[in-house]
Structure 1
Amino acid sequence: MVDPLLVVGVLVSMFVAYNIGGSTTGPAFGPAVGADAISKTAAAALMAVFFFAGAWTIGRNVVTKLGTELVSDPGVFTLEASITVLFFIGVALLMGNIFGVPASTSMTAVGAIAGLGLAGGVLDLAVMGEIVIWWVVSPIIGFWVSLIIGRYFYARLNRIVAMERSTGPLFDIDRSGPIPIPSVHRTTNRRELYGTATVVAIGCLMAFSSGTSNIANAVAPLVGSDELAMNPAIIFGGIAVAIGAFTIARRTLETMGSDITELPLTAAIVVASVSSTLVVFLSWLGIPASFVVIATVSIIGLGWGRATRPMTVPEAVTADDPPRVSVDALAADEEGEELPPIGEESPERTDAGDLFNPATTARVVLMQNVVPAIATAGAYLTFRFVPIFGF
């Protein structure tokens, strides 16, 4: 007979995964939906497939790290403790939604499990230190890679990626036969197809990276308790993410489809590529990573790089008038215009703030640190002083 408490644990785990699906589908496929490249239904389907692929392959490394290695005695993961840890992760998601800032479920999951380990005296400080070091190093890597791209390669990338949507659909669907057959619409050009394919491919990469890291946030406590095996846990989590992608994610797709395009399309692709690649790499190492933190710092780096792109005057006017260096905020705008002559830069285009809002950035970074700290403290106090846990 199945333990009713285990059923409760699985349901809570799936609820966390459901919210992960709802919150991560928008950032992954919002640009593609906003550009009318794919429908919301297609975005949800791609999210479900690539999230599960990431979870089933690399994601189990992170599940193992959180479920069995972060604490020296996995026996502390009783069903009651596992449900409590998942509760704190769910509260983090709720707080993020309330404040309009996506809380890092990875950092919060680590914080809640660390609180459990501290209360039970079984926290592996070496593993915790390794995770924290990578949390510090990975955003720095994202910052510098994005800065270099923004400073030296962005204008060239923009000329390759930038596209204008033609009128009409991208594809025509012939439904006269038993199997619908797509064909390229007569007004669709090759550049538009390449740009669309790039946007969708980046969304798939983000969905895959989300699966590699976020599946552990939903299932690691149950796997660590040995009450649920790895494969069934990943399957349950994948199903819940898919449900979230097809339901509540429809609203976030609408929001992100417009909000994320406050970044130029090329900038969004650069940030998503850098951040996703780092998350997949860290997941391969078994390190739970925060996509939002890495992406936020990458946006800052890209903006800084674009804002400090140098352009020098070829010759000095006189011996007393040496060559000067000018900076232009965006280097070249999304329509491919050339840099203005020196001395004629537009004031509104000379601030990296065009790419990121300092106040919003500070709020995101603050919440990304406050929420995990609250989860750690709350879990520690709960496991330490609530009698039913016996620590």
Structure 2
Amino acid sequence: MVEPLLVLGVLVAMFVAYNIGGSTTGPAFGPAVGAGAISKTGAAALMGVFFFAGAWTIGRNVVTKLGEELVVDPGVFTLEASITVLFFIGIALLVGNVFGVPASTSMTAVGAIAGLGLAGDVLDSGVMGEIIVWWVVSPIIGFWVSLIIGRYFYARLNRMVAMERSTGPLLDIDRSGLVPIPRTHETTNRRELIGTITVVAIGCLMAFSSGTSNIANAVAPLVGSGELAMNPAIIFGGVAVAVGAFTIARRTLETMGSDITELPLTAAIVVAGVSSTLVVFLSALGIPASFVVIATMSIVGLGWGRATRPMAVSDVVSDADAPPVTVDALAADEEGEQLPPIGEEDPEDIPRAGDLFDPATTARVVLMQNVVPAIATVGAYLTFQFVPVFGF
């Protein structure tokens, strides 16, 4: 007979996963839906499939890290403790939503588990230190990679993925044979096809990266308790995420309300690509990565790189009389048109940093991304330390 408390724990975990599906589908596939490259239903289906793929493959590394390695004695993950940890994850994320800040689910989950570990004096300081170091380093990497892309490669990327919508549908279905075959519509141009494929592929990468990192935030406490095996936990979490993608995510897809999807399409692709790649890399190491924090710094780096493009590198690192470095002038685009050299562009054509990120909003986001996990950590610690039922 299944213990009722375990059923409650699974339901709470699935509720957390349900909200993860609702909150991450928009940032992942918002650009594709907004560009008309895919429908909301198609976006939800791809979110469910690729989230599960990321969770089933690389995601179990993060589940193990949080559920078994972050605390030296996984025995502290009783069913009561696991449900309480998930409760604080949900409450802390609610605080972020109230303030309109996309809080980091991974940082919040680690904070709640760390509070449990501190109260029970079983927190592994070495593992916690490793996680914190990567939390500091990964946004810096995202910032500099995006800055370089923004300064030297953004114009070329923009030409490659710019969506030029044709009058007809993107694809036709050839039903002449036994198996229907999709074919490019006669009015579809090459750039439209490339742009569509790129923006949908980036959404799939984001969904996969979300699965590699976020599945642990929903199921790691239960897996750590030993009451729920890894594979069933991932299946429960994946199903809940898919349900969230098909239901509450439709509104976020419609309003395009996240910081990532409010960017120009090319900028959204850059930020999503850089952030997702870093998240997958960290998940492979078992590090619960914060996509929100990395993406925020990637936006800042991309805006900074675009804003400094009219200034030649030599003007920054050398004397003003040195000839400008014209990296882009060495390459032509697909139509043979020479790109303007750095330092010789029309400043009116170059967005300033403030066009891609608002410093005040960025400061508020960074502040809340630290406050929300702190709420989870302190709340969990005080509860496990002073509520007699836990016996710590």
Same fold (TM over 0.5): yes
Alignment correspondent of 2:328: none
Counterpart mapping for 1:1-391 below 5 A: 1-173=1-173, 180-256=180-256, 260-310=260-310, 322=321, 345-346=347-348, 349=350, 351-391=352-392
Cα contact 1:19–1:93 (8 A) shared by 2: no
Residue deviations 1:137-187 (CA, integer Å, cap 9, x gap)? 000011111111111111222222223112232123467988654332222
**Corresponding letter in the other structure for 1:113:** I
Q: How many residues align?
A: 376
Cα distance, 1:227–1:162 mapped onto 2, change above 3 Å:
same
Alignment correspondent of 2:317: none
Give the deviation of 1:218 after TM superposition: 0.2
The CA distance in 2 between the partners of 1:243 and 1:171, in whole Å, is 28
**Corresponding letter in the other structure for 1:91:** I
The CA distance in 2 between the partners of 1:236 and 1:85, in whole Å, is 18
Cα distance, 1:146–1:384 mapped onto 2, change above 3 Å:
same
Cα distance, 1:178–1:255 mapped onto 2, change above 3 Å:
farther
Give the deviation of 1:224 after TM superposition: 0.2
Q: What SS does the corresponding residue of 1:262 show, helix, strand or coil? A: coil
Give the deviation of 1:324 after TM superposition: 8.6
Give the deviation of 1:257 after TM superposition: 7.3
Give the deviation of 1:203 after TM superposition: 0.4
Which runs of 5 or more residues in structure 2 are unaligned?
315-319, 326-336
Cα contact 1:275–1:298 (8 A) shared by 2: yes
The CA distance in 1 between the partners of 2:4 and 2:264, in whole Å, is 50
Cα contact 2:27–2:258 (8 A) shared by 1: no
**Corresponding letter in the other structure for 1:45:** A
Cα distance, 1:219–1:153 mapped onto 2, change above 3 Å:
same
Give the deviation of 1:79 after TM superposition: 0.3
Q: What SS does the corresponding residue of 1:167 show, helix, strand or coil? A: coil
The CA distance in 2 between the partners of 1:29 and 1:164, in whole Å, is 19
Alignment correspondent of 2:329: none
**Corresponding letter in the other structure for 1:52:** F
Deviation beyond 4 Å, 4+ runs, structure 1: 174-181, 257-261, 310-314, 321-326, 336-344
Cα distance, 1:18–1:313 mapped onto 2, change above 3 Å:
closer
**Corresponding letter in the other structure for 1:345:** P
Give the deviation of 1:97 after TM superposition: 2.1
Which stretch shifts more, 349-358 or 74-83?
Answer: 349-358
Cα contact 1:310–1:325 (8 A) shared by 2: no
The CA distance in 2 between the partners of 1:43 and 1:249, in whole Å, is 10
The CA distance in 1 between the partners of 2:63 and 2:124, in whole Å, is 16
**Corresponding letter in the other structure for 1:238:** G
Q: What SS does the corresponding residue of 1:37 show, helix, strand or coil? A: coil
Cα contact 2:310–2:342 (8 A) shared by 1: no
Cα distance, 1:259–1:311 mapped onto 2, change above 3 Å:
closer
Cα contact 1:149–1:305 (8 A) shared by 2: yes
Which stretch shifts more, 146-155 or 66-75?
Answer: 146-155
Q: What SS does the corresponding residue of 1:183 show, helix, strand or coil? A: strand
Cα contact 1:92–1:105 (8 A) shared by 2: no
Residue deviations 1:76-123 (CA, integer Å, cap 9, x gap)? 000000000001111123222222211111000000000000000100
Alignment correspondent of 1:331: none
Which runs of 5 or more residues in structure 1 are unaligned?
315-320, 327-335
The TM-score, its normalising length taken from structure 2, stands at 0.90
Residue deviations 1:280-318 (CA, integer Å, cap 9, x gap)? 00000000010010000011111111111145599xxxx
Give the deviation of 1:270 after TM superposition: 0.9
Cα contact 1:279–1:291 (8 A) shared by 2: yes
Which stretch shifts more, 169-178 or 126-135?
Answer: 169-178
The CA distance in 2 between the partners of 1:350 and 1:217, in whole Å, is 37
Alignment correspondent of 2:331: none
Cα distance, 1:237–1:340 mapped onto 2, change above 3 Å:
closer
Give the deviation of 1:371 after TM superposition: 0.2
The TM-score, its normalising length taken from structure 1, stands at 0.90
The CA distance in 2 between the partners of 1:31 and 1:6, in whole Å, is 39
Cα contact 2:310–2:344 (8 A) shared by 1: no
Cα contact 2:306–2:352 (8 A) shared by 1: no
**Corresponding letter in the other structure for 1:15:** F
**Corresponding letter in the other structure for 1:211:** G
Give the deviation of 1:340 after TM superposition: 11
The CA distance in 2 between the partners of 1:255 and 1:282, in whole Å, is 30
Cα distance, 1:15–1:258 mapped onto 2, change above 3 Å:
closer
The CA distance in 2 between the partners of 1:186 and 1:303, in whole Å, is 37
Cα distance, 1:365–1:357 mapped onto 2, change above 3 Å:
same
Cα contact 1:47–1:204 (8 A) shared by 2: yes
